[in-house]
Amino acid sequence: MCIFFINGKFGLKEKLQAVGKQKFFISEITIAELKFGAENSQKVEFNRKIVEKFVKVSQVIPIAGSIDIQNSQKASNLTKTMAN
């Protein structure tokens, strides 16, 4: 979806303007994936700038604080599954 927005597809830029930046969220993982895509592209510098512009119009959801909780829950579920 983010790539479609960046590439101006499906009227997503207009839709973002209609709802406002305060209602547009992306995660830090999404940013990492977009930055990897930029680094792996034919036009690295150009795409880096586009990703940075995209990030500036987005509300970023941090994930670092939830990693320990998610991993604990996942490990607990795995332990329960293996016990059955």
- 81 has a pLDDT exceeding 80: no
Distance CA 34, CA 42 (A): 14
The rounded mean pLDDT for the chain is: 86
Whether the per-residue pLDDT at 42 is higher than 80: the answer is yes
Q: Any idea what the Cα angle at residue 49 is, between residues 46 and 54, rounded to 5°?
A: 125
* Complete domains list, the chain, with CATH: 15-83 (3.40.50.1010)
Could you tell me which residues come within 8 angstroms of residue 64 by beta carbon, excluding any fewer than 6 positions away?
28
